[in-house]
Amino acid sequence: MRASNVTKAVALALSVAWVAGCSTSGSDSMSGTETGTDTGTTQGVNNGTGVTGSSMSDVANLQTVFYFDFDKSVVKANGFSDLEKHAAYLAANPSAQVVLEGHADERGTREYNMALGERRAKAVSRFLQVNGASGSQVESVSFGEEKPEILGHSESSWSQNRRVELKYVSR
């Protein structure tokens, strides 16, 4: 199904590292064009960390999928940093808008999971608003268990499906 931005970022980091590796054997122009699109420099990417260090004005590389525990709607601490950056971006760009799509894993009943998906989306919404986004910039939509990211009946799938996806409608 859809690759999350985290996956994309990892893929990008790997390709950048690969290209950077190539550049040691001499093709500077190539590495410049490959890496210039996102980070603008070949320096500092050899360890892969340069990709996530984007500026506040650029939310393209931030985490956009946030995961939850079973029957819980508490935003986990590992998402705080990027959510704060999304919030700061929204605060700085009043015309920007996001939709928060809340999802649940398949366990439990479907309509209860609709409510749970909404509760998760609203937890992220509150986090964004506390950190500077305005309520009119954030909309929550629940899909319950209807749109799993991963099909499967074990915790490895379920943990990927209990999530909120943050999507920019306008930037």
Q: Which is nearer to another protein, 43 or 107 (CB)?
A: 107
Question: CB of 108: closest distance to another protein in angstroms?
Answer: 6
- Measured distance CA(114)–CA(111) in Å, rounded: 5
Considering the complex, state which of residue 28 and residue 146 has its C-beta at the smaller distance from another protein: 146
From 96, 80, 90, select the one nearest 129 (Cα to Cα). Answer: 90
Q: In the bound complex, what is the minimum distance in angstroms from residue 124's beta carbon to another protein?
A: 15
The minimum distance between CB 158 and another protein, in angstroms, equals 11
3-class DSSP assignment, residue 103: strand
Residue 76 or 110 with smaller CB distance to another protein: 110
**Site residues (CB under 8 A) for another protein?**
1-2, 71, 106-112, 114-116, 118-119, 122, 140-144, 146-147, 151-153
Is the CB of residue 148 less than 8 Å from the CB of residue 103?
Answer: yes
Instruction: Identify the helix (H) or strand (E) that includes residue 166.
Output: strand 163-170
